[in-house]
Amino acid sequence: MNLNFDTIIETKVKGFIDKQEYFTSVDIGNSIKKGKTFISNKEIAKWLRKNFTISDIFKNYSRKIINVSNGLTTWEYFPSYGDPNNYLKRDQVALNPREAGILTNISKSTGTLSIPIQTNSKNYEGIEIDSDNRIRLSISLLKKVNLKANDPIDPAKITIDGQLFPSGHLVHKDGRISIPKKMINNISNLKVNIMNGTIEITTK
């Protein structure tokens, strides 16, 4: 995990514990996202599970697996003197970047972050960045240039800072395309446009 994000999660968790609050990973994640930083709920849940048994900040806290919405379960964290049944937010869901107001100027993420792109004055979600900074073009974006799962990729359909996409590749079975890391210089300035049937990616 990005070390800065590790610090952000720990600081947010300490804030909840200092107030003796009951929480799950979704509470922590949504609070962080509202501060305009995106960290996926999956990564936050992993951090909580890992640190609960080794970090002193949890010394007066307990945890219990509880049922939440959609038939799922999750860990609830609560003061050791408390009753886990007092946690009332079992129906809440993790905010996505758009709901949290996180739209641009994000350089890294854990989990998947979709960056809005502009084409013909319409915004839509088209770029996915995972925890290793691997970049993928989404299904919705590729549909704009008539590409679908298993199609051979015409290098002229995708340019990155003016360079044609490498030849000899297919669209993944899941309908996405991965961008070679060596072709991306600066994620923080990532922009995408569609012009004349070509996806144009710029990083400068």
What are the DSSP calls for the chain, one per residue?
Answer: --HHHHHHHHHHHHHHHHTT--B-HHHHHHHHHTTT--B-HHHHHHHHHHHHTT-GGGTTEEEEEEE-GGG-EEEEEEETTS-GGG---TT--PPPTTTTT--S-----BS-EEEEEEETTEEEEEEEE-TT--EEE-HHHHHTTT--TTPBP-GGGEEETTEEPPSS-B--TTS-EEEPGGG-S-GGG-EEEEETTEEEEE--
Domains of the chain: 3-86 (1.10.10), 113-202 (no CATH)
- What per-residue confidence (pLDDT) applies to 144? 83
**What local confidence, expressed as pLDDT, does residue 197 receive?**
82
Q: What pLDDT, on the 0 to 100 scale, is given for residue 188? A: 63
pLDDT at 53: 93
Q: What is the pLDDT of residue 113?
A: 42
Would you write out the chain's pLDDT as a tens digit for each of its 204 residues? 555 778 889 999 999 999 999 999 999 998 988 877 778 888 899 999 999 999 999 999 999 999 988 788 999 999 999 999 999 998 888 876 656 655 433 333 334 444 444 433 233 346 776 655 667 887 878 888 889 889 999 988 888 888 888 888 899 888 888 887 777 766 666 777 787 788 888 776
Q: What is the pLDDT of residue 96?
A: 67
